[in-house]
Amino acid sequence: MLSYLIRRILLVLPVAFGVSVICFLLVQIAPGDPLTAIMAIDATAEEQAAMRAAYGLDKPLPIQYAIWIGNLVQGDMGKSIATGRPVAAEVFGAVKNSLLLAVSAAVIAFPIGIFLGFLAGYFRDTWIDRAVTALSITGVSVPNYWLGIVLVIIFSVNLSWLPSMGAGPGGSQSWAWDWAHIRHLVLPAVTLAVVPIGIVSRTVRALAGDILSQDFVDALYAKGMSRADVLRHVARNAAATALSVMGLQLGYLLGGSILIETVFNWPGSGFLLSNAIFQRDLPLLQGTILILALFFVAMNLIVDVVQAAIDPRIQRT
Amino acid sequence: MTKLLEMKNLNVRFKGKRTVHAINDVSLSMDQGETLALLGESGSGKSVTLKTLLGLLPPKRSQIDGSIHVNGVDIMSLRGRALQRYRGGEVSMVFQEPALALDPVYTIGHQIAESVMRHKGVDKANAMSTALDMLDRVRIPSANRRLHNYPHELSGGMRQRVMIALALACRPRLLLADEPTTALDATVQIQILLLLRELQKEFGMGVIFVTHDIGVAVEISERVAVMYAGQIIEEGTTHEIIRDARHPYTQGLLAANLHDVARGERLSAIPGAPPALEARPDSCPFAPRCPVAMPECRADLPPMLAPGDRRRVACLRAAQPIAAE
């Protein structure tokens, strides 16, 4: 197991390198000059050149990449062009908020998805199965930003139960587990949870249905196991695949919540990313994409390792 | 002494998009410690009979009539705890495909111990030592190490040995073996057959051995019941069936065997296929394939004749002597 772990972690290095190259190049390919946004319109050619030199933008691309990556490993991700603040601080603050939102959505979505999926798989081809299927397909198909707006209209505008935007009285920088903050989390987290509920319940339904139709389920009943025992066996069989789907979903929740964060003005990475795009804030854009991508890589690593740990059929040596 | 098994007029019908009359009026009885081979083609109702015996048929889609008593207990009325005690305790089953019948994510030791814990009420450590003892008894080499293996780490023959150990761990009075050698290599098949025969003597339990291979049936059992289209069409001791088969279908099965066939000669086979059973047979189901069918055979169900003690045959022709081929 340990050698598998080490080998799997070493495999991450080339992937991380590839990710960093793509992050760097993507931003270079994008049209537009990042400096036009912050420079005076009547800046002279000399002033422009000086500014370019100050940000290192006059050097050839490989050199720029080497400088960027060199600083990166020292924890320096450069300064935001728009605000002048260190990118690292901006990104980590935002990622922390996004993670809070993503984990909350996952905490709502995964148990509900697993429960519904199991129910549908167990009662396959009954009205329960059809109801769950209809629900999960609706959940996956409804655009979640639209759902977010509808929820805001119902719960914030009409009923005035929950706030519609922001992360609470502490703003983007401080979070506390009290009602004043949590009530801001409810609507975005619920909205974000709808898609993974659908995906997880579809996955678990397919897994449970498939496993329940296997011979060993009959064999378990034949040796006198109770229904609860059998369901325990089914859960253990489904766990590896279900966990990997959920791990990837958590990755999507973190990186894919741009629209939801925009709808609810949630100060997370998606919000930061959309601002960085509109302001052509190159270092901030690179930093945010890189951190989100690396998080995804890390999620994959964790999923693989957990899967190998709980499923004996996966080669561990 | 109480009969080990007393099955009377069992009928099983599957409902769904189309109805299937899987078992039609099957009666069977077995003495303690008796070995019975249930012989028939695919779809003749052998496996359904076994599943009915363990109450494993899906209750919503199957309609079961008739009565089954095992050691005097009416098993159709068993529910909940009592049913769980009966399954695996009184009667247990060896499945056709050991690779599919074992849970892939639990060790084999755990899977045997789980059953022992349930039926004997012992703790995990005791159950594991029973599991170890059982692996020894089914002649698995270095059983101590194998106990912690997962099913996929064993060969097919080893897996079937594990399945047998699992089925016998709680000392059942009746063992159901559903084509336990079909999925195995020929050499391994013989080993498993011999093992089952030895264990049957050692433990003294009754065995119902389902097979489509008449050679296997002869090898393992004292009695043979031949099934066709969800009915038992002939029953007798193994000796009687081989020497004096009365039903044309049984004769056909015997003739289709490889023994005594000259090289290059065409193997004899029974032409046609078994009926689809969408309706309950109201005439002899074998008549369309039968070489000696008479008009009367297509008119009504043949009577069940009893040419001897515990000897049965459902054929009009069996009443009159049949010309040897």
CB neighbour class for A182 (10 Å; exposed up to 12, middle 13-18, buried from 19): middle
How far apart are the CA of B17 and the nearest CA of chain A, in angstroms? Answer: 13
Chain B residues in contact with chain A using a Cβ-Cβ cutoff of 8 Å: 51, 54, 56, 84-89, 92-93, 95, 97, 100-107, 114-115, 118-119, 150, 152, 166-167, 170
Mean pLDDT (whole number) for A99-120? 91
Q: Let me know if residue A133 belongs to a domain.
A: yes
Q: Using CA coordinates, name the residue in chain A closest to B114.
A: A225
Above 90 in pLDDT, residue A197?
Answer: yes
CATH class of the region B5-90+172-261+268-319: alpha beta
Residues of chain B with CATH 3.40.50.300: 5-90+172-261+268-319
HEC profile for A240-278? HHHHHHHHHHHHHHHHCCHHHHHHCCCCCHHHHHHHHHH
Residue with tokens 């290095």: A13
Burial of B134 (0-12, 13-18, 19+ CB in 10 A): buried
Question: Residue A279: pLDDT above 70?
Answer: yes
ipTM computed for the complex: 0.86
Q: Which domain holds residue A198?
A: 94-271
B249 vs B143, B217, B241, CA distance in Å?
44, 16, 12
The distance of B119 to chain A (nearest Cα, Å) reads: 8
- Mutation target among B48, B103, B134 for the A interface, most CBs of A within 10 A: B103
Residues in B touching A312 (Cβ below 8 Å): 104-105, 107, 150, 152
- When mean pLDDT is compared across A78-82, A123-127, B147-151, the lowest value belongs to A78-82
Q: What is the pLDDT of residue B208?
A: 93
CB < 8 Å to B167, chain A: 223
B54–A222: do the CB atoms touch at under 8 Å? yes
- Taking the C-alpha atoms of residue A282 and residue A284, their distance in angstroms, rounded to an integer, is 5
A288, A277 in Cβ contact below 8 A? Answer: no
Q: Between residues B66 and A279, which one has the greater pLDDT?
A: B66
Confidence of residue A173 (pLDDT cuts 50, 70, 90): low
> What per-residue confidence (pLDDT) applies to B323?
46
Tokens standing for residue A145: 């930003």
**A14 falls within a domain:** no
Q: Is B231 helix (H, G, I), strand (E, B) or coil?
A: strand
B-chain CB neighbours of A218 within 8 Å are 51, 56, 95, 101
Q: Is A282's Cβ below 8 Å from some Cβ in B?
A: no
Question: Considering only alpha carbons, which residue of chain A is nearest residue B176?
Answer: A222
Can you give the pLDDT at residue A109? 92
Phi, psi of A122 (to 5 degrees): -70, -40
**CATH number assigned to the domain comprising residue A146:** 1.10.3720.10
First-last CA distance in chain B: 43
Record: contact A218-B56, CB cut-off 8 A: yes
User: Which of B199, B155, B160 shows the shortest CA–CA distance to B181?
Assistant: B160
* Domains in chain A, number: 1
The answer on pLDDT for A186 being more than 50 is yes
Tens of pLDDT, residue by residue over A42-59, are: 777 777 777 777 777 777
A214 touches chain B (CB under 8 A): yes
Q: Which site among A216, A232, A311 would you substitute to test the B interface, given the most B Cβ atoms closer than 10 Å to its Cβ? A: A216
Instruction: Give backbone dihedrals phi and psi of A261, rounded to 5 degrees, phi first.
Output: -65, -35
A107-121, A269-283, B48-62, B237-251: the lowest-pLDDT one = A269-283
pLDDT for the residue numbered B325: 41
User: CA–CA separation, A7 vs B266, rounded Å?
Assistant: 60
Nearest chain A residue to B149 by CA: give it.
A312
User: In this structure, is residue A167 part of a structural domain?
Assistant: yes
Q: Which residues does A304 contact at the CB level (< 8 Å), separation at least 6?
A: A8, A244
List per-residue pLDDT tens for chain B, 325 residues long: 788 888 988 889 888 888 888 888 889 889 998 999 999 888 888 889 999 998 888 888 888 898 899 988 888 888 888 888 889 888 999 988 888 899 999 999 999 999 999 888 888 999 999 999 989 888 888 888 999 999 999 988 899 989 999 998 888 999 999 988 888 888 888 888 888 888 898 888 999 999 888 888 888 889 999 998 888 989 999 988 888 888 889 888 888 775 666 666 666 777 777 888 888 888 888 888 888 888 888 888 888 888 888 888 888 887 765 444 4
Q: Which tens digits make up the pLDDT trace of A232-254?
A: 999 999 988 898 889 888 888 88
Per-residue pLDDT for A107 more than 90? yes
Is A226 within 8 Å of B84 when comparing Cβ atoms? yes
DSSP character for A169? Answer: T
A194 assigned to some structural domain: yes
Q: What is the predicted pLDDT for the residue at B258?
A: 58
Q: Which of B236, B233, B192, B271 has the alpha carbon at shortest distance from B40?
A: B233
Domain assignment present for A37: no
Which of A215, A233, A313 faces B101 most closely, judged by CB atoms? A215
Q: Is A111 inside any structural domain?
A: yes
Q: What is the pLDDT of residues A296-307, one digit of tens each?
A: 888 888 888 888
